C-alpha cells in the first residue's frame, strides 16, 4: 500500500512538474561551459541566464516565466548530441541555443531538424546556413562572421598603410579558422597585398615560438589573425618576443577590451562588432546591473554578447505569443528586429532568407600610449550582408 | 640558431611534464592520466598564492610549490593508497576520474576566465638575446634551467640518497623492498609528491609564458608521447624522447608544414612502437606491466 502511495506521489510530482514547465517558455542551451573553449563561451551563457532572470523578475514575457535549461557539452560533439536529444525530447524546449565549438554543430542541427525546433547559435561562429539564403530553422547573433570579418579587416589594413602591405596570416587548426585564413589570403591578393606566410597552429600548443619564428622570418609588416583568442594573442606575443615590429590586427573576442589594456601595445589592433565599455552607454550600465544581480562571475566587458542573446530571446518569445510552439518561435525569429541601443552599429535584423543579419558594422581599437587608454581608431563601417 | 633555441625550450617543456609520468610509473607502475589536470592545479595554486602574497613574488612561488607537493601527497593518501592490491587498470581509471574531478573543481572555484599569474607576480616575460641571431623569452630560459635542475636533482636523489635508493628498489621489486623494511606507502606518496611538484612547476611556467586557462590539460597530454618514446620507466629516456619529439616538431613546422606539429609526436611514437616498443631507454620487461 505504501509503495502504491509513493508511486502515486511520484506520478503526481512529475505531472505537476510538467504542468509547471508548460506554464513557462522553455529554452534549452547546449554550451561549452567547461573544457578548453569555455573561457569565451561560458560568459555568453551565464549572461543570457542572468538576463532571463531579469526578465522573470519583471513579470516574464506575455505574463509567463522563461525557463533556461543549460547543459554542458564541454565542446564535445557526442555530449552536444546527447544534450540536444534530452532538451528536445524531455524538456520539450521551443528554442535550442548552441553556445559551443563548431564541431558540435552537425549533430545538434540533425536533432533540431528532426524535432522541427529552431536552433540559435549564440557566442560561437555563425554557420553558413544562417547567411542568405538561410536555413528555415537556423539563426545566429554571434558578433563574428566568416568572410565579412576578413573583408573589413583587410579594408582597414589597406586604409592604414602608406607602404605596400606584406601580410602574414595566422589561424588555428579548426575548419572555420582555416577557411577564413584561406579566404583572407585570396582576398589580400585581389586587393594588391602580398601574403608572405600563413601559419595554422594546433589547438592548443605549449609554445607558439616555432610558429612565430616562421612568420617573423617571412617579414610581414602587417598580420591578420582570426581564431580563438588564445591562439591569436599568443602568436602575437611570441612574434614580439622574437623582435618583430610590425602591426598586428586580430578579432575582438569577448576579452579584447581587457586584453588591450594588459598588452599596452599601440601596434596591436582588434576589430569587432560589439561596442566597448569605454563608450559608457546607458545600456552598458544596465548590463552591469543585470550581471551584478545575476551574480555573473566574469568581468562586465565580457558580457555584451550574452546580453544580446537575452534581448533576442525576449523579442522572439514576445512576438511568438502564448502558448508557444517551435514553429511560432521560428516564425517570429524569421522577422526579428532588435534595437541594440548602441551595442552594435545598428539593429540586429533577421529576415525570411537572412538569419545572420542584414548589415554588419565594424570598429577597430588599439591601446593609445599617450592617453593611456583603449581608444577607437575606426568608427562603425558597414558591410551589407549579401547572398554568399 | 633560433631553431636550436626553439627546440631546447620545447624539449624542456615536454621533459618537465613527462618526468611526472615517468616518476609515478617507475615507482608504482600506474600510468597517471590526471597529469595535465595536476599541472592545471599547480598553475591555479600559483595564481592563488600570487593573489594572497601580492608584493612578495618569491614567497608566492615557494608557497605554490609547497602546495603542489601537498596535493601530490593528498592524492596518494586519499585516493591512490586505496587502490593497493587492485589491478593496475583500476588505478589508471581512478586517475581518469581524478582528472575529471579536478577539471570540474577548477571551473567551480576559479571559473573559466583566462588568468595571467606572471602579471600578478609583478614580473615581465622579457625577450633576451642569445647571440646575434636568436632570442629567448625569460620564461623559456627558466624552463630550460629549471628542467636541467630538476633532472640533475632527481639523478642525484635517486642515485645517492637513502630515499632515492628506496624508491628505485620499490620500483624494481616492491615485494622484496617491503620485506626489507621499506615503507612502500611513504615511497609511493613521495613519488606522487615529486610528480605533482614537477608537473605543477611545468603548469606554472606555461601559465606565466602564455596564460592560465583550461587548455593546459591538453598540453599535459601532448607530452605523453615524449615519455613513451623515451621509455616509460626511464628519466633519461624522458629527456631523450622530449628532445626527439621537440626536434621533429620544430623542424617540420619550419621546413614543411605547421599543421604537422599536431601529428608529429604521435607519428614519432608509432614509429618507435614499431621499431622498439619499450622506448629508447625503457626496460623490455616493463611491456608486460603496461
- Residue extents of the structural domains in chain B: 2-123+131-220
pLDDT band at A11 (very low <50, low <70, confident <90, very high): very low
pLDDT digits (tens, 9 = 90+) for A258-267: 999 999 999 9
Q: Are A337 and A327 in contact (CB under 8 A)?
A: no
Report whether pLDDT(B231) > 90.
no
CA-nearest residue to A41 within chain B is: B112
Candidates A37, A46, A205, A206, partner chain B, best to mutate (most B CBs within 10 A) = A206
pLDDT of the residue at B262 = 82
Lowest pLDDT segment from A222-236, B23-37, B245-259, B264-278: B264-278
- Give the sheet arrangement for strand A194-201, strand by strand: A194-201, A166-172, A222-225, A247-251, A268-272, A359-368, A373-384
CB hemisphere CA count around A81 (13 angstroms): 8
Preceding amide of B220 cis, omega within 30: no
Mean pLDDT of chain A: 92
pLDDT band at A378 (very low <50, low <70, confident <90, very high): very high
In this structure, how many other beta carbons lie within 10 angstroms of the beta carbon of residue B176?
11
B179: contact with A, CB 8 A cutoff = no
Report whether pLDDT(A53) > 60.
yes
DSSP 8-state secondary structure symbol assigned to residue A221:
S
- C-alpha torsion sign, points A39, A40, A45, A46: positive
Distance CA B14, CA B227 (A): 8
pLDDT band at B286 (very low <50, low <70, confident <90, very high): low
CA-nearest residue to A214 within chain B is: B254
Report whether pLDDT(B273) > 70.
yes
A34: contact with B, CB 8 A cutoff = yes
Report whether pLDDT(B249) > 50.
yes
Residues 6+ apart with CB under 8 A from A345: A273, A359, A361, A362, A363, A380, A382
- In angstroms, the Cα distances linking A282 to A142, A285, B290 are 22, 5, 62
pLDDT of the residue at A18 = 45
pLDDT band at B44 (very low <50, low <70, confident <90, very high): very high
Q: Smallest CA–CA separation between B181 and chain A, in Å?
A: 42
pLDDT of the residue at A236 = 97
B286: contact with A, CB 8 A cutoff = no
Residues from chain B that touch A36, judged by Cβ atoms under 8 A, are 213-215, 217-218
Cβ-nearest to B214 among A36, A229, A241: A36
- Longest Cα pair distance anywhere in chain B, in angstroms? 59
Dihedral, CA of residue A88, residue A90, residue A91 and residue A93, to nearest 10:
20
CA-nearest residue to A209 within chain B is: B6
Report whether pLDDT(A21) > 80.
no
Please return the burial class of A349, using the count of CB atoms within 10 Å of its CB with bins 0-12, 13-18 and 19+.
Answer: middle
Q: Would you call A355 helix, strand, or coil by DSSP? A: coil
What's the whole-model pTM score? 0.88
pLDDT digits (tens, 9 = 90+) for A167-185: 999 999 888 899 999 999 9
Asked if A240 lies within 8 A of B116 by C-beta distance, the reply is no
pLDDT band at A308 (very low <50, low <70, confident <90, very high): very high
pLDDT of the residue at A22 = 63
Report whether pLDDT(A13) > 70.
no
pLDDT of the residue at B232 = 85
Mean pLDDT of chain B: 91
pLDDT of the residue at B275 = 87
The whole-number average pLDDT for the span B5-19 is 96
Distance CA B199, CA A274 (A): 39
Q: Are B100 and A35 in contact (CB under 8 A)?
A: no
Asked if A242 lies within 8 A of B135 by C-beta distance, the reply is yes
A263: contact with B, CB 8 A cutoff = no
The whole-number average pLDDT for the span B111-118 is 90
pLDDT band at B85 (very low <50, low <70, confident <90, very high): confident
Cβ-nearest to A34 among B9, B112, B222: B112
Give residue A320's Cα distance to chain centre.
24
pLDDT of the residue at A388 = 56
Report whether pLDDT(A10) > 90.
no
Instruction: Report all structural domains of chain A as residue ranges with CATH numbers, in order of start.
Output: 2-143+280-360 (3.40.50.2300), 148-277+362-384 (3.40.50.2300)
With residue A292 as reference, give the H or E element that holds it.
helix A282-293
- How many residue contacts between A and B have a Cβ separation below 8 Å? 112
Which among A258, A344, A307, A316 is positioned nearest to A45, based on CA atoms? A307
Give residue B168's Cα distance to chain centre.
19
pLDDT of the residue at B287 = 52
- In angstroms, the Cα distances linking B203 to A262, B14, B197, B219 are 21, 11, 10, 9
pLDDT of the residue at B174 = 87
Asked if A262 lies within 8 A of B103 by C-beta distance, the reply is no
Lowest pLDDT segment from A117-126, A193-202, A252-261, B262-271: B262-271
Residues from chain B that touch A230, judged by Cβ atoms under 8 A, are 114, 210-211, 213, 215
Q: Smallest CA–CA separation between B164 and chain A, in Å?
A: 31
Distance CA A252, CA A269 (A): 9
- What is the bridge-based pairing of β-strands A95-99 and A119-121? parallel
Asked if A203 lies within 8 A of B218 by C-beta distance, the reply is yes
Cβ-nearest to A209 among B9, B218, B262: B9
Q: Smallest CA–CA separation between A324 and chain B, in Å?
A: 34
pLDDT digits (tens, 9 = 90+) for A75-100: 999 999 999 999 999 999 999 999 99
Q: HEC string of chain B?
A: CHHHHHHHHHHHHHHHHHHHHHHHHHHHCCCCCCHHHHHHHHHHHHHHHHHHCCCCHHHHHHHHHHHHHHHHHHHHHHCHHHHCCCCHHHHHHHHHHHHHHHHHHHHHHHCCCCECHHHHHCCCCCEEECCCCCEEEHHHHHHHHHHHHHHHHHHHHHHHCHHHHHHHHHHHCHHHHHHCCCCHHHHHHHHHHHHHHHHHHHHHHHHHHCCECCCHHHHHHHCHHHHHHHCCCCHHHHHHHHHHHHHHHHHHHHHCCHHHHHCHHHHHHHHHHHHCCCCCCCCCCHHHHC
pLDDT digits (tens, 9 = 90+) for B163-183: 999 999 998 888 899 999 999
pLDDT digits (tens, 9 = 90+) for A125-142: 899 999 999 999 999 999
Amino acid at each position: 500500500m505504501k509503495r502504491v502511495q509513493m508511486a502515486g506521489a511520484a506520478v503526481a510530482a512529475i505531472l505537476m512538474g510538467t504542468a509547471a514547465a508548460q506554464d513557462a517558455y522553455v529554452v534549452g542551451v547546449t554550451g561549452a561551459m567547461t573544457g578548453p573553449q569555455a573561457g569565451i563561451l561560458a560568459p555568453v551563457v551565464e549572461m543570457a541566464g542572468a538576463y532571463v532572470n531579469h526578465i522573470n523578475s519583471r513579470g516574464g514575457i506575455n505574463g509567463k516565466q522563461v525557463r533556461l535549461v543549460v547543459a554542458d557539452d564541454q565542446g564535445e560533439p557526442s555530449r552536444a548530441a546527447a544534450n540536444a536529444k534530452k532538451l528536445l525530447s524531455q524538456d520539450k524546449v521551443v528554442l535550442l541555443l548552441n553556445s559551443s565549438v563548431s564541431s558540435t554543430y552537425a549533430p545538434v542541427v540533425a536533432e533540431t531538424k528532426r524535432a522541427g525546433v529552431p536552433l540559435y547559435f549564440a557566442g560561437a561562429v555563425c554557420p553558413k546556413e544562417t547567411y542568405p539564403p538561410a536555413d528555415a530553422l537556423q539563426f545566429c547573433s554571434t558578433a563574428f562572421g566568416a568572410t565579412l570579418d576578413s573583408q573589413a579587416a583587410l579594408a582597414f589594413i589597406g586604409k592604414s598603410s602608406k607602404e605596400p602591405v606584406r601580410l602574414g596570416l595566422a589561424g588555428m587548426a579548426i575548419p572555420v579558422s582555416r577557411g577564413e585564413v584561406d579566404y583572407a589570403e585570396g582576398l589580400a591578393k585581389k586587393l594588391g597585398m602580398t601574403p608572405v606566410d600563413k601559419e595554422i597552429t594546433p589547438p592548443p600548443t605549449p609554445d607558439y615560438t616555432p610558429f612565430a619564428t616562421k612568420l617573423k622570418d617571412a617579414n610581414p609588416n602587417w598580420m591578420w589573425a582570426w581564431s580563438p583568442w588564445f591562439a591569436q594573442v599568443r602568436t602575437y606575443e611570441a612574434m614580439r618576443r622574437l623582435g618583430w615590429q610590425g602591426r598586428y590586427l586580430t578579432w575582438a573576442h569577448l576579452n579584447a577590451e581587457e586584453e588591450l589594456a594588459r598588452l599596452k601595445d599601440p601596434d596591436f589592433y582588434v576589430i569587432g562588432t560589439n561596442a566597448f565599455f569605454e563608450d559608457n552607454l546607458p545600456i552598458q550600465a544596465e548590463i552591469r546591473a543585470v550581471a551584478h544581480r545575476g551574480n555573473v562571475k566574469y568581468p562586465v566587458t565580457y558580457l555584451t554578447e550574452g546580453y544580446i542573446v537575452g534581448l533576442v530571446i525576449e523579442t522572439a518569445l514576445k512576438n511568438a505569443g502564448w502558448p508557444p510552439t517551435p514553429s511560432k518561435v521560428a516564425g517570429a525569429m524569421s522577422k526579428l528586429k532588435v534595437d541594440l541601443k548602441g551595442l552594435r552599429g545598428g539593429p540586429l535584423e533577421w529576415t525570411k532568407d537572412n538569419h545572420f543579419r542584414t548589415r554588419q558594422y565594424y570598429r577597430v581599437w588599439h591601446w593609445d600610449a599617450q592617453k593611456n587608454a583603449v581608444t577607437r581608431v575606426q568608427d562603425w563601417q558597414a558591410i551589407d550582408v549579401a547572398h554568399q | 640558431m633560433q631553431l636550436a633555441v626553439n627546440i631546447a625550450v620545447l624539449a624542456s617543456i615536454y621533459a618537465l611534464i613527462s618526468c611526472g609520468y615517468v616518476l609515478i610509473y617507475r615507482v608504482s607502475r600506474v600510468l597517471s592520466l590526471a597529469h595535465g589536470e595536476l599541472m592545471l592545479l599547480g598553475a591555479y595554486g600559483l595564481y592563488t598564492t600570487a593573489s594572497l602574497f601580492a608584493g612578495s613574488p618569491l614567497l608566492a612561488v615557494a608557497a605554490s610549490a609547497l602546495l603542489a607537493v601537498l596535493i601530490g601527497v593528498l592524492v596518494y593518501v586519499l585516493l591512490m593508497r586505496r587502490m593497493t592490491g587492485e589491478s593496475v587498470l583500476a588505478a589508471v581509471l581512478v586517475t581518469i576520474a581524478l582528472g575529471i574531478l579536478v577539471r570540474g573543481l577548477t571551473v567551480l572555484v576559479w571559473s573559466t576566465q583566462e588568468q595571467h599569474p606572471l602579471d600578478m607576480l609583478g614580473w615581465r616575460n622579457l625577450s633576451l638575446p642569445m647571440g646575434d641571431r636568436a632570442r629567448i623569452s625569460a620564461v623559456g630560459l627558466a624552463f630550460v634551467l629549471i628542467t636541467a635542475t630538476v633532472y640533475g636533482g632527481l639523478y642525484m636523489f635517486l642515485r645517492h640518497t637513502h630515499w632515492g635508493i628506496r624508491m628505485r628498489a620499490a620500483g624494481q621489486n616492491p615485494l622484496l623492498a617491503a620485506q626489507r623494511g621499506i615503507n612502500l606507502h611513504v615511497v609511493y606518496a613521495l613519488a606522487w609528491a615529486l610528480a605533482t611538484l614537477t608537473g605543477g612547476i611545468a603548469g606554472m611556467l606555461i601559465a606565466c609564458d602564455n596564460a592560465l586557462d583550461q587548455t593546459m590539460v591538453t598540453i599535459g597530454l601532448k607530452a605523453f608521447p615524449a615519455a613513451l618514446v623515451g621509455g616509460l620507466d626511464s628519466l633519461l629516456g624522458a629527456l631523450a624522447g622530449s628532445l626527439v619529439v621537440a626536434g621533429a616538431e620544430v623542424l617540420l613546422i619550419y621546413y614543411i608544414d605547421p599543421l604537422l606539429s599536431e601529428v608529429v609526436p604521435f607519428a614519432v611514437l608509432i614509429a618507435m612502437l614499431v621499431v622498439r616498443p619499450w622506448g629508447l631507454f625503457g626496460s623490455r620487461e616493463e611491456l608486460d606491466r603496461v
